[in-house]
């Protein structure tokens, strides 16, 4: 439990250090890519896709997860 708390504190401190080095002029591009990636994940879990069966949902979810990991 202590390691989790120390990891959270360390992550917060590292975020502050790296945030100073980030150029926010092109932040809108990353926000758009994130929204597109999350919309695809929501599509994979929509009611229409879930009614198709187990395999299509699994494949779509896996493909979209890989896309998010590549970002």
Domain boundaries, the chain: 24-71
pLDDT the model gives residue 71: 62
Give the angle 17-33-25 at the CA atoms, nearest 5°. 50
Which residue, chain included where needed, has tokens 């790296």?
18
Give yes or no for residue 66 having a pLDDT over 70. yes
Q: Looking at 6-15, 19-28, 43-52, which range is the least confident one?
A: 19-28
- Write out the two tokens for 7: 């990891």
Task: State how far the Cα of 41 lies from the Cα of 63, in Å rounded to an integer.
Answer: 9
Give how far Cα 69 sits from Cα of 43, 52, 58, 63, 65, Å: 17, 25, 16, 10, 6
- Write out the two tokens for 70: 């590549």
User: What's the pLDDT tens digit per position in 25-64?
Assistant: 777 887 888 888 788 777 777 788 778 887 887 887 788 7
Q: pTM for the full model?
A: 0.43
């Amino acid at each position: 439990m202590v390691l989790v708390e120390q990891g959270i504190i360390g992550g917060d401190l590292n975020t502050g250090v790296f945030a100073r080095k980030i150029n926010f002029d092109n932040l809108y591009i990353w926000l758009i890519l994130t929204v597109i990636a999350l919309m695809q994940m929501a599509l994979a879990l929509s009611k229409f896709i879930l009614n198709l069966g187990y395999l299509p949902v699994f494949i779509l979810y896996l493909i979209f997860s890989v896309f998010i990991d590549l970002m």
